[in-house]
Structure 1
Amino acid sequence: MTAAATAPEGLRFGYGTNGFANHRLDDALAVIADLGYSGVALTLDHDHLDPFAPGLAGRVDAVARRLADLGLGLVIETGARFLLDPWHKHAPTLLHDDPTLRIEFLRRAVAIGADLGAEAVSFWAGVRPDTVTPAVAWDRLVAGCAAVVEAAEAVGVTLGFEPEPGMLVEDIADWRRLHAVLGSPARLGITLDIGHCRCLEPRPVADCVRDVAAHLVNVQIDDMRRGVHEHLEFGVGEIDFPPVLAALREIGYRGLVAVELPRHSHAAPTVAAHSLEFLRAAASPHALCSASTGAPPGVRCPDDDRRVA
């Protein structure tokens, strides 16, 4: 079975495998395709195409065939929590004293992305360790990113660097600074998490989309509240989604818009089904305030002060 047609006006919705952590990868891909998604955001992890396990080449070939059979587009995500260190979440990052393993992981992710024809390989900075000064952390980040960019350029892979709340690069302004320091490489774009924009960016979410249009290579989508970094199901947070999706159409974005709900694996098929239904409705040219799909009467749409009738 192949993935269903794209949403109105060309938007292509995907779903992240970090929200299917209790599924075998092959099963997760099948469910995502059967629900009608156009693509998948594949987080390389222990049970999902582990880049450090034996037989990688054969496993990559098998995933390539499966993606082709299902008609799924692909982005590679690298946010696995304990893949590199069983004791410390996300460690080591590019900011640690020895980032060698992180750089090797990202190089492998780039190689896998090249073999699978990924539309983008996404990564982030990491949280600055308490023992590392901001200046040293920044220098380490720049050096690590340069190495990853070099690997991506060698094989023609596009990178999407994700600003992440609480990390050294947490917002669009930080990303612009990093991009400039690296010499504005053509292969280094931005991964924009729609929820993160509501969490900490000063402007309306749709304006954030327009602001990064020239560099946007990967979109993650979820609901969120101001000042709280918690990925929520659609309609639970504060984001008014129709204007955001309209902005993506307006800028001509053609990459995946992948649902990012990493804490919902316990009900993955149900959550994924509801998410796609919500996004398709919100993407309709006739969509009303998205809060009307799940919020009680009187809830404000924070981006423009509209209220549900």
Structure 2
Amino acid sequence: MSITTGDLTLDVGFTLGLDLPFDESVAFAAREGFDFVELLLDGPYARERIEDRVDDMRATLTEFDRDVVVHLPFAVAPGSPFEPVRRGAVDELTRGMDLAAEVGAERVVFHPSSDAWEKGWSTTATRAFVHDALDELVPAARDRGLVPCLENVVSSYYDATTFDELLARYSDAQATFDTSHALLAGQSASEMGAFLREHADRVAHLHLVDTRGDRDEHLPVGMGAIDFERVLAPLAECGWTGTATLEIGTDDLETIAFGKANLERVLGVA
């Protein structure tokens, strides 16, 4: 069930851990009041491994009245400097969008990233590789009835400090704002809040992830260095409504439930 506090409404979900069975996770989501699960198409849930299970997965979501957000594999960098590799990445991500539509997702998350060697390719060239892929991927998502939610990354050009350039270029795209990635890119909680205030109409999805600041630890809210009250306050002021995934790096369901309880305390609804 959505968390509402003041003028802020969050549909809250969690990342489906790679070792968590799908049916068990969706049942847990319903039991603990999560609105959705976020399915990462990698590992046991890689597209090729689950294509024949999509109907059953959709039936489970319907049975428990839960939604799904699909995260395309982040290991597939669409902005490869090598054209055949880039074509392959676009093809794989597009096929992932097909699966996302079939399983009933409304939002699809993917990284506007490049694995170009920084000593071999200029920033301008690297951005052009990313744009070449996104020029196809953003319309492909829309053609399938999906909202393309580009995520701020850490190790490529389009981190939180440059992400407004990407939003300006792709008017049909929305953003996934990842708090841990933003911290690692150098943004304070106040700067995150300012970004969210400025781009509230373009942010459709949140990854609420904590970290102690030296690496992307995927901790529950409240277990790291991020001041989530300061991050989320501007969205409350804007009357923002959207989805928020607790991207916790665990397969332990109790820890995931703990993360939700922490978020509720931060929002003052616990």
Q: Give the Cα separation in 1 of the matches to 2:92 and 2:174.
A: 19
* CA 37–229 in structure 1, closer or farther in 2 if over 3 Å, else same: same
What's the counterpart of residue 135 of structure 2?
146
* Structure 2 equivalent of residue 201 of structure 1: 187
Give the Å deviation of 1:230. 3.0
Instruction: For residue 175 of structure 2, give the secondary structure of its aligned residue in structure 1.
Output: strand
Unaligned 5+ runs, structure 2: none
Opposite residue 80 of structure 2, the aligned amino acid is L
- 1:222-237 residue pairs with structure 2 within 5 A? 222-226=209-213, 228-237=215-224
1:227, CA displacement in angstroms?
5.6
Distance, in Å, in 2 between the alignment partners of 1:61 and 1:44 is: 16
The separation in 2 between residues aligned to 1:95 and 1:174, in whole angstroms, is 19
1:157 aligns with 2:156: no
Percent pairwise identity: 21
Q: Once the 2 structures are TM-superposed, how far is the Cα of residue 226 of structure 1 from its aligned partner?
A: 4.4
CA drift of 1:239 comes to: 1.7
Distance 2:24 2:53 in 1: 15
Q: Which has the higher Rg, Structure 1 or Structure 2? A: 1
Cα contact 1:14–1:38 (8 A) shared by 2: yes
Kindly indicate whether residue 246 of structure 2 is the aligned counterpart of residue 259 of structure 1. Answer: yes
Is structure 2 residue 230 aligned with structure 1 residue 247?
no
Check if 1:179 corresponds to 2:167: yes
Match of 2:91 among 101, 104, 116: 104
Unpaired stretches in structure 1, ≥5 consecutive residues: 81-89, 288-309
Q: Secondary structure at the match of 1:160?
A: strand
Cα deviations by residue, 1:85-138 (Å, 9 ceiling, x for unpaired): xxxxx2554224121222112112222222233231111123433244333221
RMSD: 2.3
Measured against aligned partners, the alpha-carbon deviations of 1:262-299 in whole angstroms (never above 9, x if no partner) come to 3x23xx212111111111111126x8xxxxxxxxxxxx
1:1-309 map, 5 Å: 5-9=1-5, 10-17=9-16, 20-48=17-45, 50-53=46-49, 56=51, 58-79=52-73, 90-97=75-82, 98-130=85-117, 131-171=120-160, 173-181=161-169, 184-186=170-172, 188-199=173-184, 200-201=186-187, 203-226=190-213, 228-262=215-249, 264-265=250-251, 268-284=252-268
258 and 115 in structure 1: CA distance in 2 versus 1, 3 angstrom threshold: same
CA distance in 2, matches of 1:245, 1:69: 32
Partner Cα separation in structure 2 for residue 91 and residue 192 of structure 1: 19
**What residue number does 1:302 align with?**
none
**Cα distance in 2 for residues equivalent to 1:159 and 1:123:** 8
Distance 1:233 1:66, change over 3 A: same
SS at match of 1:213: coil
Write the letter of the residue equivalent to 1:60. Answer: V
Find the aligned partners of 1:284 and 1:92 in 2 and give their Cα distance.
Answer: 39
Report deviation, 1:185. Answer: 2.8
Q: Does the CA-based 8 Å contact 1:25-1:47 persist in structure 2?
A: no
Could you state the TM-score of these two structures normalised by the residue count of structure 2?
Answer: 0.86
Per the alignment, do residues 207 and 185 of structure 1 end up closer, same or farther by CA in structure 2, a change over 3 Å counting? closer
1:76 aligned partner, one-letter code: V
Q: How many Å separate the matches in 2 of 1:127 and 1:149?
A: 16
